[in-house]
Amino acid sequence: MTMKRITKHLLSLLFCASLVHLAVAEEVKVSSLDGNTILTVQIDKQISWSVKKYDQLVLPKVTIGMTVNGNQLAQSPKLKSNKEIEKNETFEVIVPLKNRQVSNNYKELQLAFKGGFGLHFRVYNEGVAYRFYTSMRGEIEINNELMDITFPDGSSSFFPKEVSTYSHYERNYLKLDIDSIPVGDFCSLPVLFNQDDEQLRVLFSEANLYDYPNLFLELTGDKHLAARFPMAVKATIPQPGARVDRNVIITKEYDYIAKTKGKRTFPWRLFVITNDDKTMLEQDMVMQLSDPLKLTDTDWIKPGKVAWDWWNDNNIYGVDFESGLNTATYKYFIDFASEYGIEYVILDEGWTKSTTEILDFNPDMDVKEIIRYGEEKGVGIILWCLWKPLDENMKEILDTYASWGAKGIKVDFMQRADQYMVNSYEQIAKECAARQLLVDYHGSYKPNGLRKAYPNVISYEGVKGNENHKWSDEITPIHNTTLPFIRMAVGPMDYTPGAMVNMQEENFNISFSRPMSMGTRCHQLAMYVVFESGLQMMCDNPSNYYKEEESTRFISKMPSTWDKSIALEARVGEFVVMARQKGENWYIGGMTNWDERSMELDLSFLPEGIFEMVLFKDGVNANKYAQDYQVKTIKVTQSDQLTIKLAKGGGFAAILRPIQ
């Protein structure tokens, strides 16, 4: 055969191969109900998908797959069937942090493949989501789940960088170009990406996480971020030293990320996509994508505010007893809570005999008497405990706390995100619900939708909040105006607001026992409207609150759940203004970063009628003396527009009541 004939024959083979490839490759599309978002699934040697929104290619390519029992499911996949469904439904939230009624309207693409697996893709007006499912017998080992995201040129991020998947998720959001992130660096979720000179945002997180580890994102190459998971934990030992009671060292891991049922759905991977920052404050995709209520009785679940002891180090004053970890101090907390209608007092670290002996209390505190006294005054008691001893003896410990009359637990120092820990979160929620106990997770990962199934899961930390003022200068107004768009966008955050000692940056000092906050007094007051938590802490000590009577009375009237929420003004890391409804009343909160600004407050969201508005705003000297504020009471209607001046690190808050 001549060289010419060989070349012709090879070209013919290549052409035939390309025809075969074209015949095998498939493409399936699904759009949002409003038509603005189009998701395209490409099935070839691998499965990938892309998204266009506003006629712009937002995610050019997301390659996905799963390795089960050593086999790559999505390698040269063969599609058996595809089906598109549409849903328009509404569900009620037991502990509503945004809206009591949530609309759940979407189109869903259901793909089934040979080999016992499939995919669901959902497209909402606000974003997109996907998940795998398997239909295999017995138990399976998930060795890995592939997700590789390619971002467009010029993309940047608010990157919550981690150094280990053994994490409490308390991170700053580092504003970084994706091109500048070193290969191997990774972050926890949620994470926010920016495109088109920050005119377009993509918020990434996950939902409906059960019996499976949390996902992290790692930079693997040029504009590529890929899924990373903690391996399933095989063995641990206590960490020697001062934190032997709460930290462990993982000594052995399995060669899989999860061992689980072969017939199941896996967590949703969700992407909120918007060119309006207000969308991130109003969307509720984690709740929309999560399993429905699993409890039959929820009437006992009571959200509320909490008088908190640990941040202020029990530094009450003006009393005739020595303050500290003793019965007299906590009765003082209870008296304060009762006077101001605060629902709970927390007994944080120090109330137990030791941090590991958590079935008994320290000799200076009669916890049964404190709980009895609280009941007499209409104040519930929540008990702090470490996760490690709780995990080792859960039923006896929870039975004991419930028998004393405690209303809930604040469980702390989980610090892990592997499969065992995820299962522990559900076990704690379930066991506490059986005893009518609330749960506040601290030292925790971010919310993943567990609270929809178990609404006694009332809040999560997983946030760099007010407590960090005790040892750092990183909790700035810039940080505070970033949190609502990222961390709070996936669920409640126990930030613990309410500082009464407020400082501008140049006056701020770190003090563990007598802490202060950055930003103005009204910046802190606004948090009770802007920040979402079913348990909303009042972090300062009662003596300071008594001294600041006007601010305290105002805070005490703030709800911790809402019937309706509306974002009025929003820009990540710059400013946020929220309006929220509870019954007939409306509440407004606004915060700014270090920039002074005038906010135009349009009240057209109000129903018809006249409202009395009590407005707390920054005082004329708040730029120098951050505790300076002014109070105005005015009459307003939906036709009014107000101009409110915010100091640097400032804020404002208002309560509006209809005039009968």
Whichever domain contains 425, its CATH number is 3.20.20.70
The SS3 of residue 574 is coil
Does residue 56 form part of some domain? yes
Query: How many other CB atoms sit within 10 Å of the CB of residue 372?
Result: 14
Distance CA 505, CA 595 (A): 12
Residue 17 has pLDDT above 70, yes or no: no
Distance CA 317, CA 111 (A): 65
Distance CA 481, CA 166 (A): 27
Residue with tokens 């998204």: 51
Could you read off the pLDDT of 250-260 as tens digits, one per residue? 999 999 999 99
Contacts of 392 (CB under 8 A, 6+ apart): none
Angle at 564 between CA 559 and CA 565, to 5 degrees: 90
Longest C-alpha distance within the chain, in Å? 108
Pair 513, 592 in one domain: yes
Q: How far is CA 587 from the centre of its chain?
A: 22
Q: Which pLDDT belongs to residue 24? A: 56
**Which two three-digit tokens encode residue 108?**
């869903």
Pair 367, 471 in one domain: no
Residues of 231-243 as b/e, b for ≥16 C-beta within 10 angstroms?
Answer: bbbeeeeeeeeee
Pair 455, 474 in one domain: no
Pair 214, 93 in one domain: yes
Burial class (CB in 10 A: 0-12, 13-18, 19+), 211: middle
Q: Which pLDDT belongs to residue 20? A: 41
Q: Which pLDDT belongs to residue 13? A: 44
- Give the pairing type, strands 79-92 and 101-113: antiparallel
Q: Looking at 277, 309, 343, 412, which residue is catalytic?
A: 412
The confidence band for 1, taking pLDDT boundaries of 50, 70 and 90, is very low
Question: pTM score > 0.85 for this model?
Answer: yes
Q: Which of 230-234, 347-351, 355-359, 364-368 has the lowest mean pLDDT?
A: 355-359
Pair 343, 251 in one domain: no
Could you read off the pLDDT of 602-635 as tens digits, one per residue? 999 999 999 999 999 999 999 999 999 999 999 9
The SS3 of residue 547 is helix
Instruction: Give me the amino acid identity at 468.
Output: N
User: Treating both helix axes as pointing N-terminal to C-terminal, what angle do 327-340 and 367-377 enclose, rounded to 10 degrees?
Assistant: 20
CATH number at residue 215: 2.70.98.10
The SS3 of residue 467 is helix
- Closest C-alpha to 488, from 282, 654, 274, 653: 282
Q: Which pLDDT belongs to residue 128? A: 98
Distance CA 487, CA 446 (A): 8
Q: Which of 209-213, 237-241, 282-286 has the lowest mean pLDDT?
A: 237-241
Q: Which pLDDT belongs to residue 7? A: 43
Pair 123, 151 in one domain: yes
CB 42 within 8 A of CB 24: no
Does residue 10 form part of some domain? no
Distance CA 406, CA 106 (A): 42
Last residue of some domain: 440, 462, 484? 462
Distance CA 310, CA 331 (A): 15
Last residue of some domain: 256, 275, 294? 275
Does residue 657 form part of some domain? yes
CB 216 within 8 A of CB 229: yes
Residue 100 has pLDDT above 60, yes or no: yes
Q: Which pLDDT belongs to residue 516? A: 98
Distance CA 130, CA 48 (A): 11
Burial class (CB in 10 A: 0-12, 13-18, 19+), 291: middle
Residue 6 has pLDDT above 70, yes or no: no
The SS3 of residue 2 is coil
Could you read off the pLDDT of 398-454 as tens digits, one per residue? 999 999 999 999 999 999 999 999 999 999 999 999 999 999 999 999 999 999 999
User: Treating both helix axes as pointing N-terminal to C-terminal, what angle do 419-434 and 394-404 enclose, rounded to 10 degrees?
Assistant: 30
Distance CA 32, CA 39 (A): 8
Does residue 3 form part of some domain? no
Contacts of 407 (CB under 8 A, 6+ apart): 302, 344, 380, 381, 382, 437, 438
CA distances 569 to 18, 579, 625, Å, are 53, 10, 26
The SS3 of residue 418 is coil
- Give the pairing type, strands 597-602 and 641-646: antiparallel
What phi and psi values does residue 299 have, to the nearest 5 degrees?
-60, -25
**Which two three-digit tokens encode residue 292?**
């429905």
Residue that wins the pLDDT comparison between 247 and 481: 481
Residue 192 has pLDDT above 60, yes or no: yes
Q: Which pLDDT belongs to residue 10? A: 44
Instruction: Report the chain's mean pLDDT, rounded to a whole number.
Output: 95
Pair 192, 159 in one domain: yes
Residue 5 has pLDDT above 50, yes or no: no
Q: Which pLDDT belongs to residue 243? A: 85
What phi and psi values does residue 247 have, to the nearest 5 degrees?
-105, 145
Pair 253, 104 in one domain: yes
Does residue 16 form part of some domain? no
Pair 180, 244 in one domain: yes
Residue that wins the pLDDT comparison between 515 and 22: 515
Does residue 295 form part of some domain? no
Residue 8 has pLDDT above 90, yes or no: no
Distance CA 1, CA 503 (A): 88
Once rounded to an integer, what is the mean pLDDT over residues 372-391?
97
Q: Is 467 a catalytic residue?
A: yes
Once rounded to an integer, what is the mean pLDDT over residues 501-528?
98
Distance CA 250, CA 238 (A): 9
Pair 213, 360 in one domain: no
Distance CA 419, CA 213 (A): 4
Does residue 242 form part of some domain? yes
DSSP-derived secondary structure letter, 361? B
Q: Can you list the pairs that 433-438 forms with residues at least 24 positions away whose Cβ atoms lie under 8 Å?
A: 433/295, 435/398, 435/399, 435/401, 435/402, 436/300, 436/402, 437/398, 437/401, 437/402, 437/406, 437/407, 437/408, 437/409, 438/301, 438/302, 438/382, 438/407, 438/408, 438/409, 438/535
Once rounded to an integer, what is the mean pLDDT over residues 228-248?
92
Pair 140, 203 in one domain: yes
Query: Which run of H or of E encompasses 643?
Result: strand 641-646
Residue that wins the pLDDT comparison between 464 and 12: 464
Pair 435, 481 in one domain: no
Residue 223 has pLDDT above 90, yes or no: no
- Closest C-alpha to 406, from 434, 378, 443, 367: 367
Which residue range(s) make up the domain with 35? Answer: 26-275
Q: Looking at 206, 309, 418, 467, which residue is catalytic?
A: 467
Once rounded to an integer, what is the mean pLDDT over residues 576-589?
98
CB 571 within 8 A of CB 494: no
Distance CA 353, CA 139 (A): 42
Does residue 1 form part of some domain? no
**Which two three-digit tokens encode residue 333?**
């907390």
Structural domains in the chain (count): 3
The confidence band for 25, taking pLDDT boundaries of 50, 70 and 90, is confident
